[in-house]
Amino acid sequence: MKRQITQANLSLVSSELEHYESNGLITGEQKNGILQIYEIKGGLNFIRVVVTIGALLVGLGILSFIASNWDGISHLVKLLIIFGVFGGVNLAGYMLSENNPKTGRSFIYLGTLVYGAGIFLIGQMYNFGGDFPTAFLLWSLGILPVAFLLKDKYLMLFANILFGVYLYGSFDMNFPYAGWVGVPVVYLAFNYFEKSRLLLFFANLTSLSFILLITLRYEVKGLYVLLLFFAIGLVMYGLKHTLEHDVFQIQGNILLGVTGVILTIPELWIVVVSAQSTRLISLLFALAFVTLLFVLIRKGSLISLLFVCVTIFRYYTDTFAFLPKSLFFIVGGLLLLGFGFYFERMMKTSKGGPLA
């Protein structure tokens, strides 16, 4: 099976091979043989974007027309319209897929929107009970078979987003037990859909959301929730594995940065220390947190540099607001200049170039 890469990467590989050929390192036949093992990865293109937007606009127009005349239509006609539009656009999608795959796929995308609209409209017609987030769960479940059948990562991504809406919508309602099944499914989808980094990113978000809901379900104190997610961020950043480690690293860095800044707030620590000691313990945590950020910066993390600046600004507004703004900006600017100089030296060192 050929290795799929982007057009930009293929151009880079081709130019490098031409350089090797011109220097006599490989022959023209070898160069062509190497290029034959690659193929351009499919992705969004102009035609697909245009036909998808066109199909969505047509679908929104139809739904808008139906909604404006909804009260004057009988239930039977309403059902015929919903199922007729749903079946029609999907049938058109599958019929067009062979000769016009991009246009056909756009009709299938439209069908998923009609399916979701049908869930809400039928629920309104017959006054079905149930929690509002359940509709998003049903919508997500309905998209899954189509996404797996067509191996369409964008449909899977849409299903994942809808599942996330279901999770967050259940925040103050019944516990979303479907998460125990849904979270493993989104990770299985990552392997099924050619290990899409985008799907993995949203799968991690879904997993983190479900963990948050579990802590809220059992009424875990805010401090412990933050410490838990701070620890998860550290694990995501530091744990070595082969499962798109850079995706985990970026998300872990952001997670530990956000929770770390919040944990510098003294009032959060009242659950473990006395009121007189909260400022001291939060300050000690802040020092340890900033030290950790500097360690990560030394490893090349620009995200950590951002959170150092956020932490400094947080203490400026909370504690050092009496200092002149000019002094704050001067100090902040000097810090950024120093970090910029450090990163430039580090990059030159990693490339084997001379130090400035």
How far, in Å, are 41, 66, 76, 122, 278 from residue 3 at the CA level? 9, 47, 52, 46, 56
- As given in the structure block, the two tokens for residue 46 are 């102009």
Domain segments of the chain as ranges: 1-42, 325-356
> How high is the pLDDT of residue 195?
79
Q: Strand pairing partners for 4?
A: 39
Q: Are 144 and 187 in contact (CB under 8 A)?
A: no
CA–CA separation, 251 and 229 (whole Å) = 11
Torsion of CA 126, 128, 132, 136, to 10 degrees: -80
DSSP SS3 for 220: coil
Instruction: Count the neighbouring beta carbons within 10 Å of the beta carbon of residue 210.
Output: 19
Q: Are 210 and 229 in contact (CB under 8 A)?
A: no
CA–CA separation, 232 and 248 (whole Å) = 11
pLDDT in tens, the chain (356 residues): 567 666 677 788 888 888 888 888 888 888 888 888 877 665 555 566 676 677 667 766 766 766 666 666 777 877 887 788 888 888 888 887 777 777 788 888 888 888 888 888 777 777 665 567 888 888 999 999 989 888 888 899 999 999 988 888 776 667 788 888 888 988 888 878 877 888 899 999 999 999 998 898 888 999 999 999 999 999 999 888 878 888 999 999 999 999 999 999 999 999 888 888 898 999 899 999 989 998 888 887 888 888 988 888 787 776 555 555 566 566 667 766 776 666 666 666 655 443 33
> How high is the pLDDT of residue 69?
65
Q: Strand pairing partners for 38?
A: 3
Looking at residue 273, the DSSP 8-state letter turns out to be S
How far, in Å, are 24, 101, 152, 296 from residue 44 at the CA level? 38, 13, 12, 35
- What's the pTM? 0.71
> How high is the pLDDT of residue 354?
39
CA–CA separation, 163 and 254 (whole Å) = 22
Q: Are 286 and 337 in contact (CB under 8 A)?
A: no
Dump the DSSP string for 65-88. HHHHTGGGS-HHHHHHHHHHHHHH
Q: Which amino acid is at 110?
A: L
H helix intervals, 195-277: 197-217, 222-238, 245-262
How far, in Å, are 16, 140, 307 from residue 222 at the CA level? 54, 31, 21
CA–CA separation, 258 and 224 (whole Å) = 15
Dump the DSSP string for 140-188. HHHHHHHHHHHT-HHHHHHHHHHHHHHHHHTTTSS--TTHHHHHHHHHH
Angle, CA of 168, 138 and 181, to the nearest 5°:
70
DSSP SS3 for 33: helix
- As given in the structure block, the two tokens for residue 233 are 């961020």
b (16+ CB within 10 A) / e for 45-74: eeebeebbeebeeebeebbeebeeeeeeee
